Amino acid sequence: MSLLHVEHYSKRFYIDHLQREIAVFADLHFTLEAGQFLLVSGPNGMGKSTLLRCLYRTYRPAAGRAWYASRRGPIDLARAADVDMALLRREELGFVTQFLRPRPRVSARELVAEPLLAAGCPWSEALPRAEAMLATFGLKPALWSAYPATFSGGEQQRVNLARALVHPCRLLLLDEPTASLDAAARASLTERLAQLKAQGVAMIGVFHYPQEVRPLLDGEIKLAGTADPAQMEVEHVVE
């Protein structure tokens, strides 16, 4: 069984006060194996991020199935109970966005350690791992104890990546993680993603400039608008 097998996946938003429905994508199919990296591509507004969020269940898909082979057994991400999704998010699913959600009076170090603590890792172990991850993404050690709410966009994004990637997951969803990063930080990200891929982590990502991750890619999900599902292509380029 594949790590993730998506079929007939669709998303529509219904906006009550407008009394209208907005279709984003429909009838999407693809398959992902452990250690594979798929790029989601398509023009702006075609629902690239929406697809990632529908898999992570920040958005509820309108139809379809997403069979995921979790360590605890196969499960359909489209229908999984909320508590099961919460469990998967703690243990197996990762999501990297372009935005950090800093909380007042929580240091960069603590923010990064949090996913480890949530997974039951003791503080004594979580702390060095969090610091190592901050170092990987080039955040100056002087800032590790500072509150990220006051950081620049680039610094916040380094914390964000460290937080998202500190805890090993099996399926990683990346939503434009390179936005507001300089070249050096983008390079460390690519390096880290390559490492994860080598460890067998499967990834689906939306990238503004996909060139940097191109060598890691195993295929591409092309979104081209939804009014007519036939217009949409999903292509696997297994090289």
Partner 1 sequence: MTAISNHRFVPNDPPRLVATPPLLRAQGLVKHYGRITAVQDVSLEVYPGEVLGVVGESGSGKSSVLRLLNLEEPADAGTYTLELPGWQGQNLLRLERFQQREVQILHIGIVYQNPHLGLRMRYTSSGNVAERLLITGERRYSTLRAAARASLATSEFPLDRMDDPPRILSGGMQQRVQLARAIALRPRLLLLDEPTTGLDVSVQAMVLDTLKRLQRELHLAIVIVSHDLGVIRTLADRVIVMRHGRVVETGLTDQVLEDPQDAYTQQLVHAKL
Q: Which residues bind partner 1 (CB under 8 A)?
A: 12-17, 21, 53, 57-64, 70, 72-73, 75-76, 78-88, 103-106, 117-118
Least distance (Å) from partner 1 to the CB of residue 62?
6
Least distance (Å) from partner 1 to the CB of residue 114?
8
Q: By C-beta, is 1 or 118 nearer to partner 1? A: 118
Q: By C-beta, is 82 or 239 nearer to partner 1? A: 82
Inter-residue contact 18 to 39 (CB < 8 Å): no
Least distance (Å) from partner 1 to the CB of residue 107?
11
Taking each continuous run of H as one helix and of E as one strand, the counts in the chain are: 6, 10
3-state secondary structure labels for all residues of 9-31? EEEEEEECCCCEEEEEEEEEEEE
Reported in sequence order, the residue ranges of the chain that DSSP labels E, i.e. its strands, are 4-15, 20-32, 37-41, 63-70, 73-76, 93-96, 171-175, 202-206, 219-222, 233-235
Q: How far is CA 104 from the centre of its chain?
A: 24
Least distance (Å) from partner 1 to the CB of residue 16?
4
Least distance (Å) from partner 1 to the CB of residue 211?
30
Q: By C-beta, is 149 or 184 nearer to partner 1? A: 149
Q: By C-beta, is 76 or 235 nearer to partner 1? A: 76
Q: By C-beta, is 34 or 87 nearer to partner 1? A: 87
Q: By C-beta, is 130 or 185 nearer to partner 1? A: 130
Which of 225, 229, 220 shows the shortest CA–CA distance to 30? 220
Which of 66, 99, 63 shows the shortest CA–CA distance to 85? 66
Q: How far apart are CA 188 and CA 194, in angstroms?
A: 10
How many residues does this entry show for the chain?
239
Least distance (Å) from partner 1 to the CB of residue 74?
9
